[in-house]
């Protein structure tokens, strides 16, 4: 499923595998996806209808532009808080860092507390598209073939999918390792038994060498 169909997904309950208008079903057979949907459904007080990703847009659900807007807003806040935390450390770490960050950024104390781990680790911004690219790349590296990956990503051409396939040395080694015990067309790694002509030739060679 691509990004745009996912943004248009609506309830009913995730157990029923809801659909968007003309879009693919929610992949509730994937445990990780199902767990996320169950969590979001509970957070929205178990609605009988509505959007999986509601927003204040005209459509009522999150759009590509609104997702980018929210991401950029979070980027700015976390960057400002991280810079304030660094300044607090450079200044001798006097007092509470959250108080100093709140004074410098005007960000709410509960926001700083919620994201304290990210802020203190030093937030590094990234483009939102990197999440999709990284997920598809990790799937490819884990052994997912290009055709299955294209289906997951919603690509119209396998050529697009190949951009995410960057086989590393260990992946190439694993691929050849699959042949170590023979393969499905019944070839065996063992040498075939010698026929009659091979045995006769071997006896003649032995006789000649022994003279």
- pTM of the shown model: 0.49
Average pLDDT of span 45-49: 84
Q: What tokens were used for 5?
A: 């169909």
Residue 21 confidence (pLDDT): 46
- pLDDT per residue as tens digits for the range 8-27: 777 764 445 444 444 445 55
Q: Would you state the pLDDT for residue 200?
A: 53
Closest by CA position to 119, among listed 99, 131, 101: 101
Q: Render pLDDT for 136-193 as a digit per residue (tens, 0 to 9).
A: 888 888 888 888 888 888 888 888 888 877 766 776 777 777 666 555 555 555 555 5
pLDDT at 20: 46
The predicted model gives 183-206 an average pLDDT of 55
Mean pLDDT in the chain?
A: 76
């Amino acid at each position: 499923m691509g990004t745009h169909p996912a943004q248009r997904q609506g309830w009913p309950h995730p157990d029923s595998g809801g659909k968007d208008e003309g879009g693919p079903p929610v992949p509730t057979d994937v445990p990780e996806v199902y767990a996320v949907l169950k969590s979001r459904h509970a957070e929205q007080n178990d609605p009988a209808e509505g959007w999986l990703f509601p927003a204040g847009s005209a459509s009522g659900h999150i759009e590509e532009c609104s997702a980018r807007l929210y991401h950029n807003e979070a980027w700015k806040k976390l960057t400002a808080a991280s810079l304030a935390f660094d300044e607090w450390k450079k200044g001798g770490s006097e007092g509470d860092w959250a108080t100093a960050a709140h004074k410098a950024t005007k960000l709410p104390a509960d926001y700083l507390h919620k994201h304290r781990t990210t802020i203190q680790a030093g937030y590094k911004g990234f483009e939102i598209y990197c999440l999709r690219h990284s997920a598809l790349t990790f799937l490819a590296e884990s052994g997912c073939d290009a055709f299955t990956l294209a289906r997951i990503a919603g690509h119209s051409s396998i050529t697009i999918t190949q951009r995410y396939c960057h086989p590393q040395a260990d992946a190439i080694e694993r691929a050849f390792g699959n042949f170590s015990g023979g393969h499905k067309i019944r070839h065996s790694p063992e040498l075939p038994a010698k026929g009659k002509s091979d045995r006769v030739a071997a006896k003649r060679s032995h006789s000649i060498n022994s003279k």
